[in-house]
C-alpha cells in the first residue's frame, strides 16, 4: 500500500471540496445556520462538504471507516479509519472571516498514517504521510527553531462549551501575555497546528477539542519535526480533548508552564 498515493488522491478530493466551500461563502444566509450547542454552529455547507469527502474517500480506500464531525458516516473497528472535519472554523466561515480549513486524517490500527489540512482561502495544503516528511503545497516544511518560550509566538483557542477549566486557562493566557512574543487566537485548531508545522507559530495548546480537530494537524507537526502531547506529557491528544504542539526546543519548558496551571 502506498500512503503517498492515497494522500495525493485525497488532496485532489479535498481541494475540490474546498472549492465548493469557497463558492458557497458569499451566498450563505443566516437562515442556513443551525445551532448544534452552545456557541457551536453548522451549515448545509459543512454537511454537504462532509458527504463529498466521505463518498470520495470511500472510493479511494474501500471498506474504511469514518469518524466525522457531522456524523455522516461511522466506523466499526475497521483497519483504516478516516477522521474528518469538513469545515474547521465554521464560526469564522459564517462571518466571512478566514481562516477555515478542511482537516482529514487516516488512521491504520489506531495509528495516524496520513494528515491533510487545506486552508481554503489561502489555497494552502499542508500534508504528511507515513514514510515521508511534511509539506506545504509540495514544499517540505519544518517547525521553528525558537529556543525559549519568551521568544515564541503562541496559538490557542477559546473553549466554547466546557468552562470547567476556564480559570486556570485564563491564568495561562496572562502568563504567556507577559512572557512571550504574544498569543494568537485565529479560530481554527487545524490551521493552528498547520502553522506550528511550518514555523509560523512556535507552539499551540488548547482543551475541549475533538479528534477531527487535531488528528491531521498533530501528525503533520510530528512529521515536520515537532513534538505533540496532552497536558500530562502523554500521547492521549487525539481522543483526550487536550493538546500541546511545539517545536522540540521549547517543548519541555512549554509543557512545564501549562502543567503548572492546568493540571
Domain boundaries, the chain: 3-140, 149-262
- Which sign, positive or negative, has the C-alpha torsion 23, 105, 72, 211? negative
Pick the residue with more confidence: 56 or 41?
56
Determine the topology of domain 3-140 in CATH. Fructose-1,6-Bisphosphatase; Chain A, domain 1 (3.30.540)
Least confident of 82-96, 118-132, 139-153: 82-96
User: Above 90 in pLDDT, residue 36?
Assistant: no
Q: How confident is the model at residue 38 (pLDDT cuts 50, 70, 90)?
A: low
The confidence score (pLDDT) of residue 262 equals 93
Q: How far apart are CA 169 and CA 207, in angstroms?
A: 9
Q: How confident is the model at residue 237 (pLDDT cuts 50, 70, 90)?
A: very high
User: Above 80 in pLDDT, residue 225?
Assistant: yes
The confidence score (pLDDT) of residue 238 equals 97
The confidence score (pLDDT) of residue 30 equals 62
Q: How confident is the model at residue 160 (pLDDT cuts 50, 70, 90)?
A: confident
User: Above 60 in pLDDT, residue 251?
Assistant: yes
Class in CATH terms, 149-262: alpha beta
On the question of a common fold for 3-140 and 149-262, the answer reads no
Q: Are 237 and 221 in contact (CB under 8 A)?
A: no
Work out the mean pLDDT of the chain and round it to a whole number: 94
User: Above 80 in pLDDT, residue 72?
Assistant: no
Least confident of 21-25, 121-125, 203-207, 251-255: 21-25
- Which sign, positive or negative, has the C-alpha torsion 222, 227, 228, 229? positive
Q: Are 235 and 229 in contact (CB under 8 A)?
A: yes
Amino acid at each position: 500500500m502506498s500512503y503517498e498515493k492515497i494522500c495525493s488522491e485525497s488532496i485532489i478530493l479535498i481541494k475540490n471540496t474546498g472549492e465548493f466551500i469557497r463558492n458557497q461563502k458569499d451566498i450563505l444566509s443566516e437562515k442556513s445556520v443551525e445551532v448544534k450547542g452552545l456557541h457551536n454552529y453548522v451549515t448545509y455547507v459543512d454537511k454537504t462538504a462532509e458527504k463529498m469527502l466521505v463518498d470520495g474517500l470511500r472510493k479511494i480506500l474501500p471498506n474504511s471507516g469514518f469518524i466525522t464531525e457531522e456524523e455522516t458516516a461511522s466506523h466499526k473497528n475497521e483497519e483504516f479509519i478516516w477522521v474528518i472535519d469538513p469545515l474547521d472554523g465554521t464560526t469564522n466561515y459564517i462571518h466571512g472571516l478566514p481562516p477555515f480549513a478542511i482537516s482529514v486524517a487516516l488512521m491504520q490500527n489506531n495509528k495516524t498514517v496520513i494528515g491533510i489540512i487545506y486552508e481554503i482561502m489561502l489555497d494552502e495544503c499542508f500534508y504528511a504521510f507515513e514514510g515521508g516528511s511534511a509539506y506545504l503545497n509540495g514544499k517540505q516544511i519544518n517547525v521553528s527553531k525558537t529556543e525559549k518560550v519568551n521568544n515564541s509566538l503562541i496559538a490557542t483557542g477559546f473553549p466554547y462549551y466546557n468552562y470547567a477549566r476556564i480559570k486556570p486557562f485564563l491564568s495561562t493566557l496572562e502568563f504567556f501575555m507577559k512572557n512571550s512574543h504574544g498569543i494568537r487566537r485565529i479560530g481554527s485548531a487545524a490551521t493552528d497546528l498547520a502553522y506550528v508545522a511550518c514555523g509560523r507559530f512556535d507552539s499551540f495548546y488548547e482543551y475541549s477539542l475533538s479528534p477531527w480537530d487535531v488528528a491531521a494537524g498533530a501528525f503533520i507537526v510530528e512529521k515536520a519535526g515537532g513534538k505533540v502531547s496532552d497536558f500530562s506529557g502523554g500521547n492521549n491528544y487525539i481522543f483526550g480533548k487536550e493538546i500541546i504542539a511545539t517545536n522540540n526546543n521549547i517543548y519541555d519548558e512549554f509543557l512545564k508552564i501549562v502543567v503548572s496551571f492546568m493540571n
